Structure 1
Amino acid sequence: MTAKPLPACLLVSLLGAVALPALAAESGFTCLIEPMQRVELRSPVEGRIDAIHVERGAEVKKGQVLVELDTNVERAALDAAKYRSVMQGQIKSADSRLAAAKDKFQRRDALVKERYIATQDRDDSLAEMRVAEANLVEAQDNQRLAALEQRRLNETVEQRRLRSPISGVVTERLQAVGEVAQSGENAKPVLRLAQTDPLRVEVVLPVAMYGKVRRGDKASVDAEAPLTGRYTASVTIVDRVVDAASGTFGVRLELPNPKGEIPAGIKCRARFN
């Protein structure tokens, strides 16, 4: 039985399906350079904004204090707790009373053995000594509690100092000094930040490229005009689900940007080595 030749239109379609990915691989695939992550900086507690140390476009480091809320009340309580945690007056007073009660008991005990006083007198002095011991323990416990209160208030003050969770840039400043920062996910953020080192490059590839690109592969990334730089990025994510409607799948690249020379939010062309 002789095989029938394929219709010309079908043959052209099949050849095009094979040729287009090859042509795209040579010219590069459309991609987009974006920040690795975007962060909205909100306050964990409600309070009046006392200071904002950065403006839009400022570079920030992870852990840097960006915003400070009013802490006058908390700092006053913290100073009091610090003082109580180092006070020695109550402990020394209780220690002195305990020493006197021990001496008194020892004298009474000796007198009882000589039968100069009643046993009840010695028992009373023993009870006084036990009370003095308890007072000393209570004074020591109060000092430890003051130290714990100091730690708690330190954390309260620290909550009112908003630090950057990433290294990057400030993309937007949404509140001003004197406004009240609200807490919660639905609250208005004080600042918006973007991590610019490394950057991420999102590429959409045709399904014919599936299996040809793997994690760890290198790719050349050309920024769109008027930028002319060519950079090397590494594949970090290859989607395992193909979009049936478009016949494509997504790939993410990681692009180092230690000097911040590459702007985020621009289009590019990616070629895989």
Structure 2
Amino acid sequence: MFKVLRVLALWGAAGAMVLFVGGRGHAEGILELEGILEPSEVVELSSQVPGIIDEITVSRGDRVRTGEVLARLKSGVEQAAVELARAKVDFVKRKLVRNEELFRKKLISMHEKDELETEITLSELEEKEALERLRLRTIESPVDGIVVKRTGAPGEYIGEGSIMTLARIHPIHVEVIVPVEYLGLIRKGMKAEVISESPAGGRYQVMVSVVDHVVDAGSGTFGVRLKLPNPKYTISAGLKCRVRFNETPVKLEKG
């Protein structure tokens, strides 16, 4: 004998479709909602110091790595300061070596030797400060990601404004707006399926990483986020998708 199941698809608020499959007055729900694929991080990159852009090493659409040099400001003055500080350190060290023999012969006092050693320490600190000022003229990527926009160009002055925008798309954040009646049913760690609607899309098994506990009173919804790994950058951000929460229980009245 074959078991007869009832299948009913209903559309609800916020683009939600609930597929009920069951029999004899009970059902099991599969909640499917619209989602959007977003970068996990967007960085408006600027310079820590104002100056004239000397070079930019990347263009829009390029992949970048954390620590990779993206741009440099003109730094002739800072480079000269580093070389001057290094020369001073070398001179003071040679001076101390020459006076070591005099100290052993007690031709100079302990106080004079201490002054020389302190002078070396101060010179090394000046060198370190000059190097840090020089490093501020180099702009590095804080994330692994994609160059979304480049606003600066060599020869331009940069102050407080952005020089480029970076987007981290590994992982991608899948943002979903969920009707309030499912509050408490969708939990962190719950499994779900992301169905990409792009031409090169696919189906991906992921887990819920964030569930908002504050409901938007105006729309009667709350936010849910899922992390979608994208190590090869094959999935593009900014696209719509469908998210199916296969584990979500839906209570129905007994018929």
> Where in structure 1 are there 5+ consecutive unaligned residues?
1-14, 104-128
* Residues 13-162 of structure 1 mapped to structure 2, 5 A cutoff: 22-23=18-19, 26=30, 28-87=32-91, 88-95=93-100, 97-98=102-103, 102=106, 129-130=108-109, 133-162=110-139
Aligned residue identity for 2:211: V
- 1:179-204 CA deviation, whole Å, 9 max, x = no partner? 1121xxxx220110000100101101
Identity percentage over the alignment?
39
How far apart are the structure 2 equivalents of 1:49 and 1:179? 6
Aligned residue identity for 2:128: R
* Higher share of residues assigned strand: 2
How far apart are the structure 1 equivalents of 2:17 and 2:104? 93
Post-superposition shift, 1:76?
A: 1.1
Q: TM-score, normalised by structure 1?
A: 0.75
More deviation, 260-269/43-52: 43-52
How far apart are the structure 2 equivalents of 1:222 and 1:21? 14
How far apart are the structure 2 equivalents of 1:96 and 1:208? 86
Aligned length: 226
The residue number in structure 2 matching 1:214 is 187
Q: TM-score, normalised by structure 2?
A: 0.80
How far apart are the structure 2 equivalents of 1:92 and 1:16? 85
Q: Which of these residues, 176, 196, 203, is aligned with residue 176 of structure 2? A: 203
Against the structure 1 CA distance between its residues 17 and 60, is the aligned structure 2 distance closer, same or farther, given a 3 Å change threshold? closer
> Where in structure 2 are there 5+ consecutive unaligned residues?
1-9, 21-28, 247-255
Against the structure 1 CA distance between its residues 155 and 50, is the aligned structure 2 distance closer, same or farther, given a 3 Å change threshold? same
1:207–1:247 CA contact under 8 A, matched in 2: yes
Aligned residue identity for 2:90: V
- 1:17-48 CA deviation, whole Å, 9 max, x = no partner? 79x76349647201110000110111011111
Against the structure 1 CA distance between its residues 226 and 16, is the aligned structure 2 distance closer, same or farther, given a 3 Å change threshold? closer
SS of 1:147's partner is helix
Against the structure 1 CA distance between its residues 143 and 205, is the aligned structure 2 distance closer, same or farther, given a 3 Å change threshold? same
Against the structure 1 CA distance between its residues 91 and 269, is the aligned structure 2 distance closer, same or farther, given a 3 Å change threshold? same
Q: Which of these residues, 238, 250, 253, is aligned with residue 265 of structure 1? A: 238
Aligned residue identity for 2:52: R
The residue number in structure 2 matching 1:236 is 209
2:12–2:18 CA contact under 8 A, matched in 1: no
| 2:153 is the alignment partner of 1:188 | no
- 1:168-221 CA deviation, whole Å, 9 max, x = no partner? 000000010111121xxxx22011000010010110111222222111112111
How far apart are the structure 1 equivalents of 2:34 and 2:191? 16
Against the structure 1 CA distance between its residues 92 and 211, is the aligned structure 2 distance closer, same or farther, given a 3 Å change threshold? closer
2:40–2:172 CA contact under 8 A, matched in 1: yes
Structure whose alpha-carbon radius of gyration is higher: 1
| 2:220 is the alignment partner of 1:247 | yes
Give the CA RMSD over aligned residues: 2.4
1:94–1:135 CA contact under 8 A, matched in 2: no
Against the structure 1 CA distance between its residues 163 and 225, is the aligned structure 2 distance closer, same or farther, given a 3 Å change threshold? closer
